[in-house]
Chain A
Amino acid sequence: MFLSQLKLMFRNLWRNKLHSLINIFGLAIAVSLVLLLSFYVSNESSVDAFHKNKERIFRVHGDIIETFAPPFGQYILENVTEAESYTRVYSLSGTVTYNDKKINSGNCFLVDSAFFTMFSYPLVAGQANSLLAANENVVLSESFAHTIFGENDPIGESIEFSGNNFTVSGIFEDFKDNTHFVKPNMIVNFSMLPRVWGNKDENSVKSFLQSYGNSSFGLYVMAHENSNIKTREVELLEKAKEFYWVFQNGRNHKISFMPLEDVYFERSGLSYIGTRQGNKKFLNILAIIALSIVIIAAINYINLSITQSVKRAREVGIKKIIGSYRWGIISQFLIESTAISFISTSIAVLLTLIILPKFNQLVSTSFSFTDVFNAGFLLRSIIIVFAIGFVAGLIPSLILSSYKSIEIVKGVPARLKNNFSQKAMVVFQYTVSITLIVVVILIIKQNNYMKNYNLGFDKDNTFYMGMNNETNKQINAFYNELKKIPGVKAVSFCNDFPGGSINNMSFVYNDKAQSFDQFRVDTAFFSALGIPIQNRISVTDNGSDNQNFAFILNQTAIKELELEPPYREIEIYNDKIKISEVVDDMNFRSLYQEPRPTLFMVSEMKWASYALIRGSGANLSSIVAQAKRVFKEIAPADPLTLNFIDDALNSAYIKEERTAKIVGYFAIFAILISSLGIFALASNTTLNRRKEVGVRKVNGANFTEILALLNKDFVKWVTISFVIATPIAYYAINKWLENFAYKTTLNWWIFALAGVLALGIALLTVSWQSWKAAMRNPVEALRYE
């Protein structure tokens, strides 16, 4: 029975090849998207779930800060009995030297020796508890070890990193996407940080490690088993208030131990402590889209099946006459839909393989086939097969099985009422499509708006190069050579620049805690970024501590400090600071936020992190090429980093661009699948109205009148969809725009464009059927009566 039903199904599929193809592939595309998205979503939600001690590891947080000073971890260990061990985490990069080879280190983590025993990162070589036993130990990632040593055994080998010698003590497997840490290439002991920074003096190394001054290090604590460390938060805060400035003057009102698995979605994403931020909103968007796509595809299946049912009504009628129960008919169609769902899902699995590389690129993941095809994937596929099979099969099977056999016997061609549910389903499909189109247009518009926004400085035509030991040693020669390049307008040396890392400066002014952006720059910085300066800034090197600096504040800083003109002097860190100039606010960070209070510390730069070079737009590429040449001449062994300021700034919007792209792709799929749906529906409508069309033609209706008659309904549906979609899209867009401090305008034409697009596509799809109907010889249609 079962087999014969399947056989019958395949013969039916084969007979209606076009419908079958639309059905199966529409479903397959949707299922493969869902499979991928569900994999991504489940992967994201299980970040850091693999650590054996995940229940016991917490990250320490204030209510506004998530980084602390070096001795605070030890303080917690000594004062909170529940704490078993801790690790600080800091990330930086530098140059690795092995023999004559010089390589950029990429991410180098500085952590405490407990790092590898707390977290469960798999090791290739070495013992977790002894990897960082000695200060001079370094642990390498598998791939980075291979980059340095090739096939040779790296254990025990010595490398130089930023002027210090390290011995390779172990190898860890490259971090995967399932942790909130950004993949490190190497990991060394935290206590080496001052030395890596270039500080060789034993006493100042010690004082750094014991000082509460610099609070910029991630801190993770592991609690004893079966203990409740969270109950100690208040007590710890009270104690810390007594000696630790970040908890004084109302800066932070809380200390919390955040469970490891929450860190990724809650507060992460600080590059200098090596973490990345998960995006729950993005995840939710993907989940909603995935669900919509499946519903659209299922609706198609239902609509196509109902349309097909006209052709299958006779089969149903006959079966009933020769003795089938209604249940027999229902089960037959449920089995069919499940089988089709199975076929589609199988194709979908293959499609997933094809889409995966593109998907990786889009969502910036690095999933391999073996990652994707796990037990969970299989389980999800099977669930999808039965869920779609049942949900999509139920309605058509109920409709089909309700046919009265008497009508078949009477020879009346089964005629399907254009029932309400079908219309509702089409309206749903178009509502989703139109909403997606609106959202895509707006995301693109917002992106363009941000890229072209007047930031208060000129981000174009300026690029930066990372400075190393060698270039710093010959900084004057480097400057002169760069200046000689034709077309170069300005060369500036600085430690901070827009789009790069910007130093934070926290201090108390008039009993109010302040957090400023601090730029350490030279006088050329302003011309390199086209920032207008009224007074000539004079930096005189007369030896006294503050006299060789010129201080410039922006308007927001003035407001924050509540200064009244004329601005002369303020006192920060017990130092008197003379204000040379006040400049307008500039958006040095992304447009997600308002400009921050900013202090420029201008001096001659004898040692800088970056060189900013401004060229004329005309021959920028040749300037870049020559700048590279200059760099290589002065520091042939140093790794070269070079990027444009506008690219660096725009990289903040990559996430939005990615969202736009993904929503865009899905919008296309949604429209495509919906179009397939109304295509089938149109063929049904024209079939049903065959007689009407015939009669009208016989009575003199012309081609265009028939076309208008048949298309009218679809125009109506799309219009209704448009009316429903508009408020939904409006709400979604407003919600999304809340992310930005600077928002593009919401024009009416965005909605109009989306509506017209949807209508146009719908009409194109439907008109082919209508055209055929209008062209048909009326005799054919009337013969049936």
Chain B
Amino acid sequence: MIQLNNIYKYYDNKFQRTFVLKDIDLTINEGEFVTVMGPSGAGKSTLLNIIGMLDEPSEGKYFFLDQPAHELKEKKKVEFHRNYVGFIFQAFHLIDEMTVYENIETPLIYKGVKHKDRQAMVADMLDRFNMVAKKDLFPNQLSGGQQQLVGIARAIVGKPKLLLADEPTGNLHTDQGREIMKLLQKLNEEGITILQVTHNEEFAKCGKRIVRLVDGMISTDEQIR
């Protein structure tokens, strides 16, 4: 599903080149649950953003579903975001002026789903995450855990093939974090490919494979389950 060949990411200053990622080769198949770990500044988030097509590699090739993603035009990328990828963020990144319902509904609108179908799909999500009663509340009226649930609901409502989670539990209490991880595991069992970045060893083990980055390079890559 995802194939990275010799991916470099660097920034040029006046006199020196700062590398964030160096010569990354990585293949992720459908149905995997990969955790990316590593110290601050190792390039975890950058890797995730390149895979999510929010950022572009400086060098190297990236194939998504056998398509050369590094050659995609801006419009194609939007299509990619609409149809194949869902994002979950540490800071939730919900739209503050929208209710829970509207936040979950928005990607479906962009996807062009009809009103009736949207209603059914959003209702489904609310039902699944036990948030029916909270559908008219605004994000700032919810706890962190609940906000992240909305974030996940928004990410998966469009039935993406890939879910990218950048420290999804980073802003949560441990209990809330465990719940979120359980949910991710369940989603993975249902067939969604998941790539998460975390600092937390316990949550890292929820995945099936752990990739460790040090100074922009892959140091270890182990299958744990």
Please say whether chains A and B are actual partners in one complex: yes
B73-93 interface with A by 8 A CB criterion: 74-75, 78, 81-82, 87, 89-91, 93
Contact in complex: A322, B81 (CB < 8 Å): yes
- Given that A405-B54, A406-B55 are known contacts, is A323 also in contact with B81, CB under 8 Å in the complex? yes
Contact in complex: A314, B54 (CB < 8 Å): no
A295-325 interface with B by 8 A CB criterion: 314-315, 317-325
* Cβ-defined partner of A409 (8 Å) among B154, B158, B166: B166
Interface: B25 (CB within 8 A): no
Q: What 1/0 flags go to B144-184 for Cβ under 8 Å of A? A: 00000000001000100000001000000000000000000
B34-79 interface with A by 8 A CB criterion: 45, 49, 54-55, 74-75, 78
Contact in complex: B106, A314 (CB < 8 Å): no
In the complex, what residues of A have CB within 8 A of residue B74's CB? 326
Contact in complex: B54, A322 (CB < 8 Å): no
Size category of the B interface is 20 to 34
Q: What 1/0 flags go to A315-359 for Cβ under 8 Å of B? A: 101111111111010000000000000000000000000000000
Contact in complex: A406, B78 (CB < 8 Å): no
In the complex, what residues of A have CB within 8 A of residue B90's CB? 411
* Cβ-defined partner of B97 (8 Å) among A1, A11, A320, A406: A11
Contact in complex: A321, B97 (CB < 8 Å): no
| Interchain CA distance A409-B109 in the complex, whole Å | 22
- Given that A4-B109, A323-B82, A411-B91 are known contacts, is A12 also in contact with B45, CB under 8 Å in the complex? no
In the complex, what residues of A have CB within 8 A of residue B94's CB? 318
Contact in complex: A1, B93 (CB < 8 Å): no
Contact in complex: A406, B110 (CB < 8 Å): no
* Cβ-defined partner of A406 (8 Å) among B49, B75, B96: B49
Interface: B142 (CB within 8 A): no
Interface: B132 (CB within 8 A): no
Listed residue (A1, A320, A321, A326) with the most chain B CB atoms within 10 angstroms of its CB? A321
* Cβ-defined partner of A323 (8 Å) among B45, B78, B98: B78
Contact in complex: B107, A322 (CB < 8 Å): yes
Interface: B95 (CB within 8 A): yes
- Given that A4-B102, A11-B97, A12-B97 are known contacts, is A321 also in contact with B87, CB under 8 Å in the complex? yes
* Cβ-defined partner of B111 (8 Å) among A11, A12, A317, A323: A323
Interface: A15 (CB within 8 A): yes
| Interchain CA distance A320-B107 in the complex, whole Å | 10
In the complex, what residues of A have CB within 8 A of residue B89's CB? 409
Contact in complex: B54, A8 (CB < 8 Å): no
Closest chain A residue, CB of each to CB of B55: A406
Closest chain B residue, CB of each to CB of A11: B97
A-B CB contacts (within 8 Å), total count: 65
Q: What 1/0 flags go to A396-440 for Cβ under 8 Å of B? A: 000000000110111100000000000000000000000000000
Dominant SS among interface residues on chain A: helix
| Interchain CA distance A322-B88 in the complex, whole Å | 11
| Interchain CA distance A15-B95 in the complex, whole Å | 13
CB distance from B217 to the nearest CB of A (A): 21
Contact in complex: B49, A325 (CB < 8 Å): no
Contact in complex: A325, B95 (CB < 8 Å): no
* Cβ-defined partner of A322 (8 Å) among B75, B97, B106, B166: B106
| Interchain CA distance A187-B158 in the complex, whole Å | 82
| Interchain CA distance A11-B75 in the complex, whole Å | 30
- Given that A322-B154, A323-B78 are known contacts, is A406 also in contact with B54, CB under 8 Å in the complex? yes
In the complex, what residues of B have CB within 8 A of residue A328's CB? 110
Closest chain B residue, CB of each to CB of A8: B97
* Cβ-defined partner of B54 (8 Å) among A4, A315, A321: A321
Closest chain A residue, CB of each to CB of B85: A321
| Interchain CA distance A326-B74 in the complex, whole Å | 9
In the complex, what residues of B have CB within 8 A of residue A4's CB? 102, 109
CB distance from A643 to the nearest CB of B (A): 65
* Cβ-defined partner of B107 (8 Å) among A1, A323, A410, A411: A323
| Interchain CA distance A4-B95 in the complex, whole Å | 13
| Interchain CA distance A409-B197 in the complex, whole Å | 13
| Interchain CA distance A112-B212 in the complex, whole Å | 106
Contact in complex: B110, A322 (CB < 8 Å): yes
Contact in complex: B109, A325 (CB < 8 Å): no
CB distance from B27 to the nearest CB of A (A): 24
Listed residue (A8, A326, A328, A409) with the most chain B CB atoms within 10 angstroms of its CB? A409
Contact in complex: A323, B97 (CB < 8 Å): no
In the complex, what residues of B have CB within 8 A of residue A324's CB? 78, 110
In the complex, what residues of B have CB within 8 A of residue A408's CB? 93
| Interchain CA distance A322-B79 in the complex, whole Å | 10
* Cβ-defined partner of A15 (8 Å) among B82, B97, B110: B97
Contact in complex: B81, A321 (CB < 8 Å): yes
Closest chain B residue, CB of each to CB of A326: B74
Q: What 1/0 flags go to B98-121 for Cβ under 8 Å of A? A: 100010001101110000000000
CB distance from B131 to the nearest CB of A (A): 18
* Cβ-defined partner of A325 (8 Å) among B78, B97, B158, B166: B78
Listed residue (A318, A408, A411) with the most chain B CB atoms within 10 angstroms of its CB? A318
| Interchain CA distance A328-B94 in the complex, whole Å | 18
In the complex, what residues of B have CB within 8 A of residue A409's CB? 45, 49, 54, 87, 89, 93, 166
- Given that A322-B87, A322-B110, A405-B54 are known contacts, is A315 also in contact with B97, CB under 8 Å in the complex? yes
| Interchain CA distance A325-B107 in the complex, whole Å | 12
CB distance from B98 to the nearest CB of A (A): 7
In the complex, what residues of A have CB within 8 A of residue B154's CB? 322
CB distance from B114 to the nearest CB of A (A): 12
| Interchain CA distance A410-B44 in the complex, whole Å | 12
CB distance from A402 to the nearest CB of B (A): 12
In the complex, what residues of B have CB within 8 A of residue A318's CB? 93-95
CB distance from B44 to the nearest CB of A (A): 12
Q: What 1/0 flags go to A1-36 for Cβ under 8 Å of B? A: 100100010011001000000000000000000000
In the complex, what residues of A have CB within 8 A of residue B109's CB? 1, 4
Closest chain A residue, CB of each to CB of B109: A1
CB distance from A694 to the nearest CB of B (A): 22
B positions within 8 Å CB-CB of A: 45, 49, 54-55, 74-75, 78, 81-82, 87, 89-91, 93-98, 102, 106-107, 109-111, 154, 158, 166
* Closest 10 pairs between A and B when the two form their complex, measured CB to CB: A323-B82, A323-B110, A11-B97, A322-B107, A406-B54, A323-B81, A318-B93, A406-B55, A315-B95, A8-B97
Further 14 A-B residue pairs, CB within 8 A, beyond A8-B98, A315-B96, A409-B49: A4-B102, A8-B95, A8-B97, A315-B95, A315-B97, A320-B81, A321-B54, A323-B82, A325-B78, A409-B45, A409-B89, A409-B166, A410-B45, A410-B49
26 A–B contact pairs at CB < 8 A?
A1-B109, A4-B109, A8-B95, A11-B97, A11-B98, A12-B97, A314-B93, A315-B97, A319-B106, A321-B54, A321-B87, A321-B93, A322-B81, A322-B82, A322-B107, A323-B81, A323-B82, A323-B107, A323-B110, A323-B111, A323-B158, A406-B49, A406-B55, A408-B93, A409-B54, A410-B49
